[in-house]
């Protein structure tokens, strides 16, 4: 069934009225930009002359930024350390009008920092400073208490699992049933280690590598994609599965055996960092604005095509999203 562009435009125009909880691993992204003019005499590696430094929200915090930029109200729930990075991250949240009230300082953990060195529009290396063991029972109880304090006020939840320890099986056992009981839309950006703990959610958004890995079936063609999606939907008992496919776009599979393919709309690709955050954010914002799953996939595919044309994690406004959609979709979709 085709969808008229006018309907998608109306949905995009309605984005901005929802309250969305983001639960997951919060990070600080550091970018060092420079030029390479020589090779080090100490080792066969390029020497980058740093010209500019930039800090951005990463992980679940980047999802919150995407939600905020689209116009919805994000509630960011997770942990940070008691360190200088947490102070910098709090300032970035303030600059983006994202509340820090649901962040929990954990003195036993460092705030995750991912440092990327970029030269001539190319990432040279990434260095991570982080602790990845699971959060303590005490911190988990605090997270659950703060979740329960707001669950009756939210329209949707995004579980942003980067495998850094905030998302635990025991936490999911409490959060997911509570959301289902309250008819809250549940979207999950998964990590392989917890994949089958996301049972009964509304949508799971793995990339094709993650999906193939957890299914034990490498995805080479569309037939493989269908085999993997059916297996995962059966095991997850989820409403839908949105698999991102890099340069080939994305595919939406639903529990009623419906399949839709969406070719990429990206005209140029500089950096896919954070593209998955944009996909899940736009998808959920669209659903809360009244979109069907297929309509939400069209909108999130368009949003992803716009952000990969920028270096580093990026977000898109609903106004820019509307322009991108008009530029890329001229007929029924």
Residues annotated as catalytic are: 277
How far is residue 260's CA from residue 281's CA, in Å, rounded to a whole number?
19
Contact status, residue 226 vs residue 208, Cβ threshold 8 Å: no
Q: Tokens at residue 180, please?
A: 């289902």
Instruction: Decide if 182 contacts 147 (C-beta within 8 A).
Output: no
Alpha helices by DSSP H, the chain: 5-14, 60-70, 84-95, 137-150, 169-181, 208-215, 222-236, 275-288, 293-307, 318-328
Say how far residue 152 (Cα) sits from the centre of its chain. Answer: 23
Angle between the 60-70 and 275-288 helix axes, to the nearest 10 degrees?
50
Rounded CA separation 210/13 (Å): 33
Candidates 281, 233, 288; CA nearest to 259 is 233
Cα–Cα distance, 22 to 159 (Å, whole number): 6
Distances (CA, A) of 12 to 16, 89, 171, 178, 286: 9, 29, 33, 29, 7
- First CA to last CA across the chain, in angstroms? 9
Residue 252 and residue 294 in contact, taking contact as beta carbons nearer than 8 Å: yes
Q: Which two tokens stand for residue 37?
A: 């003019």
């Amino acid at each position: 069934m085709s969808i008229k562009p006018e309907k998608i435009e109306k949905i995009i125009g309605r984005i901005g009225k929802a309250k969305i909880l983001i639960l997951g691993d919060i990070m600080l992204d550091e970018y060092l930009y420079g030029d390479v003019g020589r090779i080090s005499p100490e080792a066969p590696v390029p020497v980058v002359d740093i010209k500019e430094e930039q800090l951005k929200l990463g992980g679940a915090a980047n999802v919150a930024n995407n939600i905020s930029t689209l116009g919805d109200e994000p509630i960011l729930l997770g942990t940070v350390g008691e360190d200088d990075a947490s102070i910098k991250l709090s300032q970035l949240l303030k600059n983006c009008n994202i509340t820090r009230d649901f962040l929990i300082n954990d003195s036993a953990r460092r705030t995750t920092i991912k440092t990327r060195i970029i030269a001539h529009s190319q990432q040279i290396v990434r260095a991570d400073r982080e602790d990845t063991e699971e959060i303590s029972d005490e911190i988990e109880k605090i997270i659950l208490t703060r979740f329960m304090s707001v669950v009756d006020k939210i329209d949707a939840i995004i579980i942003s699992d980067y495998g850094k320890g905030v998302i635990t099986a025991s936490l999911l056992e409490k959060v997911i049933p509570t959301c289902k009981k309250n008819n809250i839309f549940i979207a999950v950006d998964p990590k392989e280690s917890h994949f089958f703990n996301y049972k009964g959610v509304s949508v799971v958004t793995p990339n094709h590598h993650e999906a193939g890995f957890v299914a034990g079936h490498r995805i080479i063609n569309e037939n493989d994609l269908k085999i993997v999606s059916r297996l995962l939907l059966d095991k997850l008992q989820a409403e839908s599965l949105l698999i991102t496919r890099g340069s080939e776009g994305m595919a939406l599979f639903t529990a009623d055996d419906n399949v839709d393919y969406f070719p990429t709309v990206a005209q140029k690709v500089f950096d896919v960092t954070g593209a998955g955050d944009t996909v899940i954010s736009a998808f959920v914002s669209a659903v809360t604005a009244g979109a069907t799953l297929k309509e939400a996939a069209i909108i999130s595919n368009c949003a992803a095509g716009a952000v990969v044309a920028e270096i580093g994690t990026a977000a898109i406004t609903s106004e820019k999203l509307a322009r991108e959609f008009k530029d890329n979709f001229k007929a029924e979709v």
